[in-house]
Structure 1
Amino acid sequence: MARTEVVIISGLSGSGKSTALKAFEDLGYFCVDNLPPELLESLLRLRSGERVAVVIDVRAGEIPFRLALLKELSRKGYHYEILFLTATPEVLLYRYSQTRRPHPLGKDLPLREALSQEAELLAPLREMATVILDTSHYNLYQLREEILRRYGQREELSFPTIHLLSFGYKYGLPAEAHFLFDLRFLPNPYFVPELKPLSGKDPRIKEYVLKSPEAQRFLEALTGLFRWLIPYYEKEGRAYVVVALGCTGGRHRSVAVTEALAEALRPLGRKVLVTHRDLEKDGP
């Protein structure tokens, strides 16, 4: 019998939870919005062998008290992931200015204060999250495509996935990273006129970055680290590990090294997912 798997979607109001849930529905998940946590196990028994996606957030009440209910799922043989969506306060305020819907905690509070209180209430759930996705720079269509890309490729949620993420420091740190490595010590193609317009996916950039002794030693060390480390994470039940590699602009060095690391890790037999967050942006 197929194992029942569930993605629990949570996060801040206005961060795109409804859009994410619709994307999971397009992927064939059985979806429920605003599910009381007490009903989750009953739902999973009812939809045995299926993939389920549910939204659980502050509308369900006191989050810290209900976390024990989620932890019981693994003990009873269910596999669950928590996808936590967030965005900057400025973005959330703007999004609320474009809609007439009230904030769940906003009945007696100014909006900014309600958002702050919500973040505080959800902090324990965020700590448990498998994936933290900052949607500040996504529109509705981009967020949908990101969910489809991340989860549409995964045959089993319980099957280990290594997510390699390149980024640019000038655009901020990725909130979802479990490991973060700074590649700004590597030779920078940005300052070579004929290489500057290219991206880290171009063979000329790869050669320029990866031929350096420091890049070769770093890549060898990083590959060895994760070959050794990933089995221990799997033993602890973590089936999704995010490794972020950053350079200044997220276009050259981080992209080249991320692509090379992906090729080195794929023979391990785990699913390797690659995201180049800032590839289309300008910067050194």
Structure 2
Amino acid sequence: MNPPILIISGLSGAGKSTVLRALEDAGHEVVDNLPLSLFDALIAGATSRPLALGIDSRTRAFDAAALGQRVAALRDSGRDARLITLECSDDVLIRRFSETRRRHPLALDRPAIDGIRAERELLSPLQRWADLVIDTTELSVTDLRMRIAERFGGGFSPGLTVTVLSFGFSAGLPRDADLVFDMRFLSNPHWDITLRPLTGEDERVSAHVAADPLYAPTLDKIDDLVTSLLPGYAREGKAYLTIAIGCTGGRHRSVAVARALAARLQAAGQNVALVHRDVAKQAGDAAVVAGDPLTESAKRRDGGGQ
């Protein structure tokens, strides 16, 4: 049986090295900065271990369209090949290059933004073939490693992998969400002084949210909708689906509903990863981003109630 193949690409500074290290820790054989001229030979001589290949604009004679066509050819031949691309906002990429004092590989003698824009245009053809786009704008190194471990720590899963993601609207919409559901109409535990310090992972908070008359019918309808859509996504060859459940701060209602939905999908036999993006925020505080994106320094931003 041929080993599965992960091809990691995307913007410089978006976290590709972090992803490759996490995959190596998960048991993948990792090759970074692979020239496309060696691609076919490496695939042909692959071992029984899953492969993770880092290929981006630094690669000699890089051609996004040619890479996408190689991925498509592997799939057509029956190989389990998936293309993962990393995305990030311009301002965060500029800050990362400034903090690390690295030069952008496409702008060695010009401002980083020039290289970022050129690279976006260079990589744009990959969107056609990408199985998964991970936006690292709001992710710390630890968050990104956890996200990779959740999806690939146990190897490749057949069929569609669903991520149920709780989040707070005060920190912005998840950029990689496929479906978004708003829970801000439910009774808010934030206004109960005894529940405010807790999160939706606590049974007392879950019970408070579930006591809202709209909770049960809403969860049933979301479950029915998602369940009806999953076969279509799988039929179209989609490998990953992210369902985002939001409330104001991402600590209480969204967490409780995301847990309940994930449990239902798991009980139905679906491969599910549960992620709480904003649950680490302190109750009553301004919105807190868990670590400066792809650094370990803590930053705070203004936000609202939970």
* Shorter-chain TM-score above 0.5: yes
Structure 2 distance, partners of 1:274, 1:10, is 24
Q: Is the 8 A contact 1:5 1:157 kept in 2?
A: no
**Bigger Cα displacement from structure 2, 244-253 vs 178-187:** 178-187
**Bigger Cα displacement from structure 2, 72-81 vs 94-103:** 94-103
- Paired residue for 1:129? 130
Q: How far has the Cα of 1:246 moved from its partner?
A: 0.8
Q: How far has the Cα of 1:100 moved from its partner?
A: 4.5
- Paired residue for 1:7? 6
- C-alpha change, 1:15 and 1:155, in structure 2 (3 Å) is closer
Q: How far has the Cα of 1:198 moved from its partner?
A: 1.4
Deviations 1:130-161 (A, max 9, x none): 33223234443443343223321x34343431
Structure 1 distance, partners of 2:88, 2:40, is 29
In the alignment of these two chains, the number of paired residues is 282
**Bigger Cα displacement from structure 2, 93-102 vs 265-274:** 93-102
Q: Is the 8 A contact 2:9 2:86 kept in 1?
A: yes
Matched, 1:75 2:76: yes
Q: Is the 8 A contact 1:86 1:136 kept in 2?
A: yes
Q: Is the 8 A contact 1:58 1:118 kept in 2?
A: yes
- Paired residue for 1:54? 53
What secondary structure, in the 3-state scheme, does the structure 2 residue paired with 1:249 have?
coil
Q: How far has the Cα of 1:167 moved from its partner?
A: 0.6
- C-alpha change, 1:183 and 1:41, in structure 2 (3 Å) is farther
- Paired residue for 2:167? 167
Structure 1 distance, partners of 2:119, 2:97, is 14
User: Superposition pairs for residues 131-150 of structure 1, below 5 Å?
Assistant: 131-150=132-151
User: Superposition pairs for residues 153-232 of structure 1, below 5 Å?
Assistant: 154-232=154-232
Q: How far has the Cα of 1:240 moved from its partner?
A: 1.6
Structure 2 distance, partners of 1:78, 1:27, is 20
- Paired residue for 1:106? 107
- C-alpha change, 1:82 and 1:175, in structure 2 (3 Å) is farther
User: Superposition pairs for residues 16-27 of structure 1, below 5 Å?
Assistant: 16-27=15-26
Structure 2 distance, partners of 1:117, 1:50, is 35
**Bigger Cα displacement from structure 2, 253-262 vs 127-136:** 127-136
- C-alpha change, 1:166 and 1:83, in structure 2 (3 Å) is same
- Paired residue for 1:91? 92
Structure 2 unpaired stretches of 5+? 283-304
**Bigger Cα displacement from structure 2, 105-114 vs 191-200:** 105-114
Q: Is the 8 A contact 2:68 2:129 kept in 1?
A: no
Deviations 1:96-136 (A, max 9, x none): 12335432211454211211221232233245433322323
**Bigger Cα displacement from structure 2, 270-279 vs 92-101:** 92-101
Q: Is the 8 A contact 1:37 1:70 kept in 2?
A: no
TM superposition score normalised by structure 1: 0.90
- Aligned residues with identical type, % of pairs: 40
Q: How far has the Cα of 1:48 moved from its partner?
A: 4.8
- C-alpha change, 1:155 and 1:19, in structure 2 (3 Å) is closer
Q: Is the 8 A contact 2:188 2:252 kept in 1?
A: yes
Structure with the higher fraction of residues in helix conformation: 1
- Paired residue for 1:267? 267
Q: Is the 8 A contact 1:4 1:44 kept in 2?
A: no
**Bigger Cα displacement from structure 2, 232-241 vs 35-44:** 35-44
**Bigger Cα displacement from structure 2, 12-21 vs 139-148:** 139-148
Deviations 1:157-196 (A, max 9, x none): 4343111001111111112111111111222111222222
Structure 2 distance, partners of 1:206, 1:248, is 16
TM superposition score normalised by structure 2: 0.84
Structure 1 distance, partners of 2:281, 2:86, is 23
